[in-house]
Structure 1
Amino acid sequence: MFHEMLVNNCGENEDGYIAKTIALVNCCPSFKSFVERCSQCDPSTSEDSIRRANTSLDRIINLSVRVLNDRLFEHIRVLVVEVHRRVMTEYVRAIMRGRIICTSLKMRKRMAGRLRDEGKHLKTLFKELESSASWLDSAIPHLSEIILLEDTPSIQMEVGVLVREFPDIRRKHVSAILNIRGMTRQTERQEILNIVKDIENSDSVTRVSRDRALFAEVPVTSEVHCLNVGLSRVALTASSLFSSMRRRRRRTPTRENQDDML
C-alpha cells in the first residue's frame, strides 16, 4: 500500500519516486517533535494516542528506507554480479592458457590445492558482497578435481558434473585441462572427451544466455596436444644428447695428440 501510494503520486518517474520518499522520511522527525509538543501542551492527550502516532511515523521511516534500499542499491547489485562473472571468466581464461603442465603427481596436487584455496577465497569475497551469481563458484573446484583425480572413471564423472552445470563448456576446454594435468594417453583422453562431444555438436550453447555463460567467453588460444608436448620433450632431449656428443668429439683429438706425444 505504501509503495502503491508513492507510485500513484509520482507515476513512472524514478527520480520523482526517490525524491518523494526521501522528503517523506525527512518530515518524520519534525512530526515526532510536533507530537511531543502536543502532548506537553494538552495533558488530556492519552499516552495511547501518542504511542500510535510515533508507531505510525516509525513505520513510514522503515518502509521508506526499505524502498530506498531496493531502488538505490539495485544497480550496485547488478554491478557486483557482473564483476563476479568477469573475475571468474578471467581466472578460467588464465588457467586455459596452459602455461603450466604438470609432470608429476606432486605438481598436480600442488596446483589443485592452489586452485581450491583461491576458489574458496573468491567464493567468500563475493558472498560478502552478496552476489547472486553463486552458480559461478563451482567452476574452479571442478577444474581442481579434474587435475587432481587419478582414475579415468572419476575424471569422467567430474567432467560430467562440470558439463551439466556449465553447458557452454566445449571439448577444447576439457582438452586444455587434460593437457595441464599431463594426461598423454590418447585412449584415456578420448574416453573423457567423448562426454562433451555430443554437446559440442549440438546448438545448446545458443540456448545459454550471457548471464549464465562462463566458458563461452573463454577462448583456448593455443590448444596444445599432449602428443606435441611429448615430441617437444623428445626434441629437447635429442638436442641435449647431440650437444654432449659434439663436446666429446672435440675432446677426443686432444687426448689422441697427447698419446702421440708420449
Structure 2
Amino acid sequence: QLLRAHVDRAPQVTPEFGREMAHSLLGVLVAFLHSFQRKVERFLEAPGEVPPPDGAPGRAIALANCCPPFRAFAERLAQFGHPESEEPRRQAHAALDRVTRACGHVLTRRLFEDLKPYFGKLMKRKWLTSSDAFDAIVMLITGFAQTLRPLHPEPHQVLVSELHRRVLIEYVRPLLQGRLVCTSAKARARVAARLGDEARQLRELFTRLDSASPWLDSVVPRLRELLVLEDTAALQMEVGALARDFPDVRRRHVAALLDARGLRAQGPRREILGVLQDLGGSEAEPGPPRHRTFFSELPATRPVRCLPFHLPRLRLPRRSPARP
C-alpha cells in the first residue's frame, strides 16, 4: 500500500519523475520475485523442507495466491510507459508463472499418483466392457477440484488448464502404446464408441471446472476419427486437421494410431503419413509453447515386428575358473 501511494503521487512532481520511479521500482520488484521464485521452488521441492503431506496443499495454495497481487503491481508499474519497462515486466510475469507452476505441481502430485493405476487399465480388453476405471478417474478429479476452492481465480484457472492437459495426455498415452490393436471394423467401432463417450465426459468435466483450454477437447475426437474412417483420402484430411489443431503431432504418433487401427498395408500408410511431411511436421521442427504442447510429451511405442525365421541359439564356451 505504501509503495502504491508513492507511485501514484510521483507523477504529480513531473511525469518524467513518475516514469523513472515506476521503472526503478519495477526493477526492484523483479529482483524480489526472482528470489521469491527460487525460495518457493526450493521450499516445495527439497525433501528436507517439504511440509507434511497434509499441510503441503494448504501452503502451496497460500503461495500461489501471492502471485496475482504481485502480477497486478508489476502491470501497474509497467503502465507508466517507461521505454525500457517491457523486459522487466516480462521477467516479473515469468517468475510468477514459475511459482504458480511449482505450486500446481505440488497440488496435483498426489492426485496423479492416485490416478496412475486407473490410467493403466485404459485401452485394454476389459476397458471395452467396463467403465469402472474411467469412472474412478472422473471421481478422483472431481473430488480434487473441491480442494482448489481457496485458490484465487487466476492461479485456479492456470492449474485447472494444466490439469486438463495432463489428464488428456495420460488418457491418450495408452492408445499410442499399442495396448489395443483392432483386427476388424467391428472392433474399431467398439473402441471408437468408447472413446467418443469418454471424450464427451472429459469435456463436460473440465467445462464444469472452468478450464481455459478448450483446444484440448478436440484431441480424442480427432483420434477417434482416425480409427473409424475407411477412405484413405478421408484419413489424410483428418491427419491434416489433427496437425492443424496440434502442431506438435509427429509421424510416429500417427503411425502408432495406424497400428492401433490395424492398418498394415504399406501403400495407404505412406499416403496417410505423407500428409505430415507435406505440412512440414518433421521430427526436428520446434514445437508450440509449453502450455500448448501435447503430443511432444507422448512417446509413441511401435510394436516390434518379429523376424520371419528363428535365429540359432549361440552357446558360448564355458570359462574355466581362473587359477590363482
Length-normalised TM-score, structure 1: 0.59
The one of 273, 282, 285 equivalent to 1:201 is 282
Are 1:210 and 2:290 counterparts? yes
Aligned pair partner of 1:111 in 179, 188, 191? 191
Please name the residue that 1:167 is paired with.
Answer: 247
The answer to whether residue 227 in structure 2 is matched with residue 147 in structure 1 is yes
Aligned ranges for residues 224-235 of structure 1 at < 5 Å? 224=303, 228=305
CA distance, structure 2, for counterparts of residue 168 and residue 180 of structure 1: 20
- Whether the 8 Å CA contact 2:246–2:294 is kept in 1: the answer is yes
Deviation of 1:189 (Å): 0.4
- 4+ runs deviating over 3 angstroms: 5-15
Runs of 5+ in structure 2 lacking a partner?
A: 8-28, 33-64, 70-148, 311-324
Mapping of residues 122-133 of structure 1, within 5 Å: 122-133=202-213
Distance 1:164 1:72, change over 3 A: same
- Give per-residue Cα distances to partners, 1:86-112, cap 9 Å, x unaligned: 001111112111111101111000001
**Aligned residues with identical type, % of pairs:** 42
Give the direction of change, closer, same or farther, for the CA distance of 1:10–1:186 in structure 2 (3 Å limit).
farther
Q: Which has the larger radius of gyration?
A: 1
Secondary structure (helix, strand or coil) at the match of 2:166 reads helix
Give secondary structure in 2 for the equivalent of 1:107: helix
Q: Which residue pairs with 2:100 in the alignment? A: none
Aligned partners of 2:220 and 2:269: how far apart in 1? Answer: 20
- Name the CA distance, whole Å, in 1 between partners of 2:2 and 2:164: 34
Shift of the 75–175 alpha-carbon distance from structure 1 to 2, 3 Å rule, reads same
Match for 2:4 among 1, 5, 8?
A: 8
- For residues 70-81 of structure 1, the aligned pairs below 5 Å read 72-81=152-161
Aligned counterparts, 1:85-96, within 5 A: 85-96=165-176
Q: Which amino acid aligns with 1:129?
A: L
1:180 counterpart (255, 260, 277) = 260
Instruction: State the match for 1:223 in structure 2.
Output: 302
1:201 shift after superposition: 2.9
Paired residue type of 1:175: A
Question: Matches of 1:76 and 1:10 in 2, distance apart?
Answer: 31
Across the aligned residues of Structure 1 and Structure 2, the Cα RMSD in angstroms comes to 3.1
Report how far residue 165 of structure 1 moved. 0.7
Q: In 2, Cα distance between the equivalents of 1:125 and 1:8?
A: 41
Matched, 1:135 2:211: no
User: In 2, Cα distance between the equivalents of 1:129 and 1:8?
Assistant: 34
Structure 1 residues 178 and 7: CA distance shift in structure 2, 3 A: farther
Per-residue CA shift, 1:67-124, capped at 9, x if unaligned? Answer: xx9x922111111011001001111112111111101111000001111111110000
Task: Give the equivalent residue in structure 1 for 2:119.
Answer: none
Q: Distance in 1 between matches of 2:179 and 2:283?
A: 30
Letter in 1 for 2:4: N
Give the aligned length: 173
Distance 1:184 1:127, change over 3 A: same
Determine the C-alpha separation between the residues in 1 that align with 2:244 and 2:2: 45
Corresponding letter in the other structure for 1:8: R
